[in-house]
Amino acid sequence: MKARRHFYSEKLAEGKAILAPMAGFTDAPFRKLCRDFGSSWAVTEMVSAKGMVLGDLKGIEIGEPYPNEPDLVIQVFGGEPELVAAGGAKLYELYRPSALDLNMGCPVKKITGKSCGSKLMQDPDRAAAIVRALSEAVPIPVSAKMRLGYDEMNVLEVAKAVEEAGASVIAVHGRTAAQKYSGEANWEAIKTVADSLKIPVIGSGDVSTRAQFERYRSWGLGVMVARAALGQPWFFAELLGKASPSQEEKAKIAYQHALLHLNWYEAISPEREKHLMMQFRGQLLRYFAFLPDAKPSLIKIASLADLQTFLLEWFALDVTGMTSNDLKRQSLNSF
Ligand SMILES: Cc1cc2nc3c(=O)[nH]c(=O)nc-3n(C[C@H](O)[C@H](O)[C@H](O)COP(=O)(O)O)c2cc1C
């Protein structure tokens, strides 16, 4: 496959929102759903560069893409330039993503303790060396997703260093690592970064309405969405001006997500199906948050047949003939 050097600039020109990486959520089925509803590209959860180099593919479990997955950005984490470069090269060789993204935002101790994730905000030289080594190791664009700082705001200094080192795009979550997810994301600070760099900047944090999306776009920023897409992948279509799906349409989308989940994680036996559906209950609760009375039924779902019965009882919806392929048609044509 021919590598596209201009992947990010071409995609940003489309003016769509982007699915942000979320550990534990942005797996292949969810990325597909969000792309089908209009996410410009979709980022995997972070994958360990060291794990890739050591051949421990467990680390890629949830980041693993569909064969030939389009518009795929794999996020990688690591603290050593050579290691991240080698891990990135391996990821490129295995999955041919459109771009690689360096995680500089994770605030979790297990990651920061190893000079990875948001800890890189305190060491701009190291962050720049990693971006440079990674860019040299792969023939695709490299980006970095960072925070406003570790405990103090220093994003401008770090962003400039990373730009200088060859990053094609920078994404900024408008909080410091110390803030984790508290307070409000500071989009003025993100705009200041964008105004000071030559490369495009994408903002991330608290986008939950179309008005916010359009405001930040009008500031010249790319816009990432994370939590607001959970249990509502159609949010990307709404951001592009499409009407919200009806409750019945939402129920069908939830069902299609369940089908994609069972397919992808190989529900090859009744036990496996039970395990996978129990794992999927959290998603179901999100999809059906508009039906609080349904919670007791949802937390008992342990098979696809249980979900079919639920949809029949609550929506008079017979989904037994539906396949996961119906989704693309539906997302493009309706609401
Ligand atoms: C459950 C969860 C997992 C996340 N995992 C990652 C990750 O692996 N890499 C990353 O760069 N950011 C990660 N983030 C941060 C998001 O990409 C995003 O920047 C942040 O949630 C703010 O955006 P939001 O308000 O739209 O959720 C994660 C966020 C959440 C809620």
Q: What are the structural domains, with CATH classification, of the chain?
A: 7-239 (3.20.20.70), 247-333 (no CATH)
Of 30, 53, 48, the C-alpha closest to 108 is 48
- Give, using CA atoms, the residue closest to atom 18 of ligand 1: 226
What pLDDT score does 61 carry?
Answer: 67
Atom index in ligand 1 nearest the CA of residue 225 equals 26
Identify the residues whose C-beta falls under 6 Å from ligand 1: 20-25, 45-46, 75, 103, 105-106, 145, 173, 204-207, 225-228
* Stretch 233-255: mean pLDDT: 97
Identify which of 22, 235, 239 to mutate to test ligand 1's pocket (most ligand atoms within 8 A of the CB).
Answer: 22
Q: Whose CA is nearest to atom 10 of ligand 1?
A: 21
Cα–ligand 1 centroid distance for 224 (angstroms): 10
Looking at ligand 1, which residue's alpha carbon is closest to its atom 30? 22
Q: Tell which residue, 211, 172, 217, has the closest CA to residue 192.
A: 172
Pick the closest to residue 74 from 120, 13, 31 (CA basis).
31
Residues 181-194: b if buried by 16+ CB within 10 A, e if exposed: eeeebbbebbbbbb
CA of 21 to the centre of ligand 1 (A): 6
Tell me what the mean pLDDT of segment 54-70 comes to: 80
Task: Express as a percent the part of the chain with pLDDT over 90.
Answer: 91
For residue 116, indicate whether it is catalytic. Answer: no
Instruction: Ligand 1, residue 173: give the atom nearest the CA.
Output: 19
- With a CB cutoff of 8 Å and minimum separation 6, the contacts of 216 are 187, 203, 207, 223
Which residue's C-alpha comes closest to atom 29 of ligand 1? 22
The pLDDT confidence band at residue 3, using thresholds 50, 70 and 90, is: low
Ligand 1 atom closest to Cα of residue 46 = 8
Nearest CA to ligand 1 atom 4: 22
Q: Measured in angstroms, how far is the CA atom of residue 318 from the centroid of ligand 1?
A: 35
Tell whether the model's pLDDT for residue 332 goes beyond 50: no
Residue 334 has pLDDT above 50, yes or no: no
Please, what is the end-to-end C-alpha distance for the chain in angstroms? 35
pLDDT of residue 13: 97
When pLDDT is cut at 50, 70 and 90, the band that residue 323 belongs to is confident
Closest atom, ligand 1, to C-alpha of 228: 26
What is the arithmetic mean of pLDDT over 32-49? 96
The model's pLDDT over 120-163, given as tens digits with 9 standing for 90+, comes to: 999 999 999 999 999 999 999 999 999 999 999 999 999 999 99
**Which pLDDT value is given to residue 335?**
43
Does the reported pTM lie above 0.85? yes
**Closest CA to ligand 1's atom 12:** 21
What spacing in Å lies between the alpha carbon of 147 and ligand 1's midpoint? 11
Catalytic-role residue among 33, 46, 106, 319: 106
Cβ neighbours of residue 46 closer than 8 Å, sequence gap 6 or more: 21, 23, 63, 75, 76, 77, 103, 106, 117
Query: Is the CB of residue 237 less than 8 Å from the CB of residue 225?
Result: no
Residue 59 binned pLDDT confidence (cut-offs 50, 70, 90): low
